[in-house]
Chains A and B, each alone.
Chain A
């Protein structure tokens, strides 16, 4: 249902109009107000963002469905609001046109608010994917079965539903008047199936490390303070636990001698800088990994547990774990194998910046083939990254450090990069992982200068 249909009064010109929270997307029917972009008395234009809402998937800005003057703001920062809840009252509201604006995911002005800027612990070792709000459904036909009425469906559809034990009041009809047809039934069954194969929510809640069964009075041992977990933090918590428990992880360690690579980097960095790009180690690693995935296709796969098939991806989109003040975000660099080093360098700068300012779009967060998590900028050596499901492997980079290394019978100082490759042992064998990391080390040590030249 569109926002304009939530108007308190019907008709084209309205004196007063209540703005309610529209349906945000599948599974997203509530969220926490992270910022209010207007206040009482403000003049708003149709389509102008009026607030930002954070749910477990992303931050969405909610645009006003009409122009008018904000007469009353019904919600406060930190409030949890649900679909259909009144957010604002607009006076002199004018909803020109009938098409209602849809909320855009994570595309609002960066407006960190006191409640949302609770410092998050840095968690660079883990990775997770922010799935932004699912595509806006074709929301104009929200088939609501009113009390006293049966769902609109033909006798033959009702018969099939009865045979399958499906309650038609739960099925969304796509036909005129919300009528349910076979295609709707099929879509509903598929959705049920997806839910059935997903990890059980009770199991999550019951076993998640974030939710200890017995409350502990920590204050017994000293002063404490408590902070609410933001929806984002809750998602991280849940996803990490799910990925960690669902996948038998093995982490393969190695070190690559990047002395030569680092020299190349230093030599060409100014040229890249001049073209608005930062030539970082990550750029090289992304390049090398994208190429390596072609030689080791199983690292670019996913496990389809329902069909018991391994899905091999013939595209090489590399996810990049970005540490932000809100938590980790993993934007995806498309077709990394097809891009020049310069293009990669530019993409990485741009995406990392977008992630930090929470401007990254839904599309930019989806469809990764493999993830790279570089902690080198902060420090540390080897760590055990958690795989970003449904991917099957992740590469963690520590901080490169000068180490005494034996070269040609002599001890030499070399710049050594700690590598940690976590892989899904259901799909990838130890031998395959060892071969991958050996090839990776080789590729980093023998990086072709031609590729760096502009």
Chain B
């Protein structure tokens, strides 16, 4: 095959890669997008954000139907059609993938299916189904992402020991499911499986679930987990796993005690590792850290002047929206603009029940860094809208710089927190003050009012709560 010459090649078509490719094309660049899988969208679309949210929607539906008895609406217990569920979920992925392919085509972004391998700083070899294709480029953006970590000790070749990828396929609903790792993946899939009918046990090595979240925001999630999961065990690690017939025998180290238990399936959700291997990076000047993440500066430049990197492969928050923003920065820098990923708020969202989201500074972080802050809270028990949803287990809080009254961070736990957090992101990014938030009318009755009322609470006059006046 004739070598392809292109201005820009983007390796990996996840949310980072396709955003970069599309944006570069929109700026008039000649772009080649290389993706090893037939469907664009990367982990997010195929094995992450999107399928998990489809399943969480179903879980929510089941939960709401179950809880409706108390509201005077009684449903029969749900009957699961897993094949139908999978098909529905897959149809979403299919539609989104096709949409991306269409958008690429419309922009004149050439898509090459195959695995990319760097021959040198300006040459990429792509193993396509049709054979080897050499690509000569001026600039490359690496956006090859990450994958679920599977520690060697757990990798028995037993399909009952799953990562998120397999768990999202929902081959069956195991009676007893062990989830190793109380991070956001473990907690979201725990919610899905427990609602579908599994007895879920979550084990977490640290002393808290969802590390990084403020303890007060975590409380409703812990309460949910304690009620609906069989067990949640912190400071617990898996010492060993072994196949035991159709089950997995798991040896747990629980605060120094050794416990042996049998599970039908195990979900390993202990983190993610970069896809940095077998990429030919050693043929370039690209540098990696000790964990394998590519080292970049805040302009997304690697140590190789021809190569940029974005998304999970550069580490930090492994989130699609972070990758997409980094894509913009990389493309703008390549395009000769002054751009940098600096001081940008990356919201964190966990789609548990209830949802948890935060943006900017957390209270925990402020304390750790010694930044003086005041915290204004508005509990959802005081929200009329939360009552009508029958979900008053929520809290909205603002992290405020006391002198300027600037909003440094926003944290929300509760129904729809993932949607609500964007206003917090805007407030933090714009350098808004509590006064700005308090004086912007929020429609009634909505959950978004809790942001306004939290700001009002800072000044001591939130209508729907009574708190001692803090500020003169």
- Which residue numbers of A lie inside 8 Å of B, CB to CB? 143-144, 146-155, 158-159, 162-163, 165, 173, 175-180
Are A150 and B343 in contact (CB-based, < 8 A)? yes
Query: With contacts A149-B408, A150-B343, A152-B404 known, is A177 near B433, CB below 8 A?
Result: yes
Q: Which residues of A contact B405 (CB under 8 A)?
A: 176-177
Which residue from B339, B370, B429, B431 sits with its C-beta under 8 Å from A177?
B431
A159 to B436, CA, bound (A): 22
Task: Give the A-B contact count at a CB cut-off of 8 A.
Answer: 58
Task: A146 to B372: give the CA distance in the assembly, Å.
Answer: 9
18 more A-B residue pairs beyond the given contacts A148-B369, A176-B433, A177-B433, with a C-beta to C-beta distance below 8 A: A144-B403, A146-B371, A148-B370, A152-B404, A152-B406, A152-B431, A153-B431, A154-B429, A154-B431, A163-B337, A165-B338, A176-B405, A176-B436, A177-B405, A177-B406, A177-B435, A178-B406, A179-B433
User: Are A178's CB and B340's CB within 8 A?
Assistant: no
CA distance A150 to B343 in the complex (A): 7
A177 to chain B, nearest CB (A): 4
A162–B404 touching, CB < 8 Å:
no
- Return the chain A residue nearest B370 by Cβ: A148
- Contact string against A for B residues 248-291, beta-carbon threshold 8 Å, 1 for contact and 0 otherwise: 00000000000000000000000000000000000000000000
User: CA of A377 to CA of B289 in the docked complex: distance in angstroms?
Assistant: 81
Residue of B nearest to A150 (CB): B343
A177 touches B404 (CB 8 A): yes
* Contact (Cβ within 8 A) A149 B401: yes
Interface: B80 (CB within 8 A)? no
- Evaluate contact between A162 and B431: CB separation under 8 angstroms: no
Mark contacts of B298-335 with chain A using CB atoms, 8 A cut-off: 1 yes-contact digit, 0 otherwise: 00000000000000000000000000000000000000
Q: Does B1 contact A (CB under 8 A)?
A: no
Q: Give 1 or 0 for each of B417-453: 1 = CB within 8 Å of chain A CB.
A: 0000000000001111101100000000000000000
Find the B residue at minimum CB distance from A145: B404
CA–CA, A322 and B345, complex, Å: 60
List B contacts of A147 (CB < 8 A). 371
**Residues of the A chain whose Cβ atoms lie less than 8 Å from the Cβ of B340:** 162
Report Cα–Cα, A150/B407, bound state, in Å. Answer: 12
Can you spell out 18 A-B residue pairs with CB atoms less than 8 angstroms apart? Answer: A147-B371, A148-B370, A149-B401, A150-B343, A152-B404, A153-B431, A154-B429, A155-B430, A159-B338, A159-B339, A163-B338, A165-B338, A173-B431, A176-B405, A176-B435, A177-B401, A177-B436, A180-B431
CB distance from A397 to the nearest CB of B (A): 56
Q: Is the interface of B mostly helix, strand, loop or mixed?
A: loop
B interface residue numbers (CB < 8 A to A): 337-340, 342-344, 369-372, 401, 403-406, 408, 429-433, 435-436
A9 to chain B, nearest CB (A): 13
Question: Please, how many angstroms separate the alpha-carbon atoms of A357 and B371 in the complex?
Answer: 49
Tell me, in angstroms, the Cα distance from A373 to B404 when the chains sit together: 51
User: Is the pair A148, B406 in contact by a Cβ cutoff of 8 Å?
Assistant: no
Question: What residues of A have a CB within 8 angstroms of the CB of B401 in the complex?
Answer: 146, 149, 177
In the docked arrangement, what's the CA distance between A150 and B344, Å? Answer: 10
Given contacts A148-B369, A152-B431, A176-B433, contact A143 B404 (CB under 8 A): yes
Contacts of B370 in A (CB 8 A): 148
Contact status A162-B435, CB under 8 Å? no
A48 CB to nearest chain B CB (Å): 26
Q: Do the beta carbons of A179 and B406 come within 8 Å of each other?
A: yes
B-chain residues with CB within 8 Å of residue A149 when the two chains form the complex: 371, 401, 408
The 6 closest A-B pairs by CB, nearest first: A152-B431, A177-B433, A177-B404, A177-B406, A150-B343, A179-B431
With both chains docked as a complex, state the minimum distance between the C-beta of A213 and any C-beta of chain B, in angstroms.
Answer: 42
Q: Which residues of B contact A180 (CB under 8 A)?
A: 431
A300 CB, nearest partner CB in chain B, Å: 45
**A279-B406 Cα distance, complex, nearest whole Å:** 62
State whether B343 touches A158 (Cβ < 8 A). yes
B338 touches A162 (CB 8 A): yes
Q: In whole angstroms, how far apart are the Cα atoms of A177 and B372 in the complex?
A: 15
* Contact of A178 (CB < 8 Å), options: B337, B342, B369, B404: B404
Residues of B near A155 (CB, < 8 A) are 344, 429-430
Alpha-carbon gap, A178 to B406, bound state (A): 8
Closest A residue to B343 using CB positions: A150
Query: In whole Å, how far is B163's beta carbon from the nearest beta carbon of chain A?
Result: 36
When chains A and B are docked, how far (Å) is the Cα of A176 from the Cα of B405? Answer: 8
Would you give the shortest CB distance from A143 to chain B, in whole angstroms?
7
Among A146, A149, A158, residue most surrounded by chain B Cβ atoms (within 10 Å): A149
Alpha-carbon distance A389/B342, docked complex (angstroms): 45
Q: How many whole Å from A167's CB to the nearest CB in chain B?
A: 12
Quick one: closest A residue to B434, CB to CB? A177
A contact residues around B343 at 8 Å (CB):
150, 158
A143, A150, A153, A163 interface centre (most CB from chain B within 10 Å): A150
Task: Give the residues in chain A near B406, CB-CB below 8 Å.
Answer: 152, 177-179
Among A146, A151, A180, residue most surrounded by chain B Cβ atoms (within 10 Å): A146
Give the chain A neighbours of B371 by CB distance below 8 A: 146-149
A152–B339 Cα distance when bound, in Å, is 18
Chain A minimum-CB-distance residue to B435 = A176
The listed residue with most B CB atoms (<10 A of its CB), out of A146, A165, A173, A176, is: A176
Which residue of chain A lies nearest to B431 when distances are taken between CB atoms in the complex?
A152
CB distance from B436 to the nearest CB of A (A): 7
Provide the bound-state CA to CA distance between A214 and B436, in Å.
60
Expressed in whole angstroms, the Cα–Cα distance for A158 and B430 within the complex equals: 10
A158–B344 alpha-carbon span in the complex (Å) = 10
What is the chain A residue whose CB lies nearest that of B337? A163
For B343, B404, B405, which residue has the most chain A Cβ atoms within 10 angstroms?
B404
- Select from chain B the residue with minimum beta-carbon distance to A151: B431
Residues of A near B435 (CB, < 8 A) are: 176-177
Residue of B nearest to A160 (CB): B338
Contacts of A151 in B (CB 8 A): 431
Q: How far is the CA of A178 from the CA of B433 in the complex (A)?
A: 9
> Would you give the shortest CB distance from A98 to chain B, in whole angstroms?
9
CA distance A42 to B336 in the complex (A): 65
Residue of B at shortest CB range from A176?
Answer: B433
Chain A contacts for B433, CB-based, 8 A: 176-177, 179
The distance from the CB of B325 to the nearest CB of chain A, in whole angstroms, is: 10
Given the interface pairs A149-B371, A163-B337, the reply to whether A154 lies near B430 with Cβ below 8 Å is yes
**Taking the nearest CB of chain A, how far is it from the CB of B166, in angstroms?**
39
Report the separation of the CA atoms of residues A180 and B436 in the bound assembly, to the nearest whole angstrom. 15
Distance in angstroms between the alpha carbons of A177 and B431 in the assembled complex:
8
Complex-state Cα separation, A152 to B343, whole angstroms = 10
Which of B337, B344, B405, B406 has most chain A Cβ within 10 Å? Answer: B406
Specify which chain A residues have a CB less than 8 angstroms from the CB of B436 in the assembled complex.
176-177
- Residue of chain B at shortest CB distance from A161: B338
Q: Determine the distance from Cα of A173 to Cα of B404 in the docked complex, in whole angstroms.
A: 11
Q: Is A162 in contact with B339, judged by CB distance below 8 angstroms?
A: yes
A429 vs B264: C-alpha distance when bound (angstroms):
102
Q: Give Cα distance in the complex from A150 to B361, angstroms.
A: 11
Query: Which residues of chain A are near B342, meaning CB under 8 Å?
Result: 162
Docked complex Cα distance between A144 and B403 (Å): 9
Contacts of B338 in A (CB 8 A): 159, 162-163, 165
- Bound together, the chains give a CA A178 to CA B405 distance in angstroms of 9
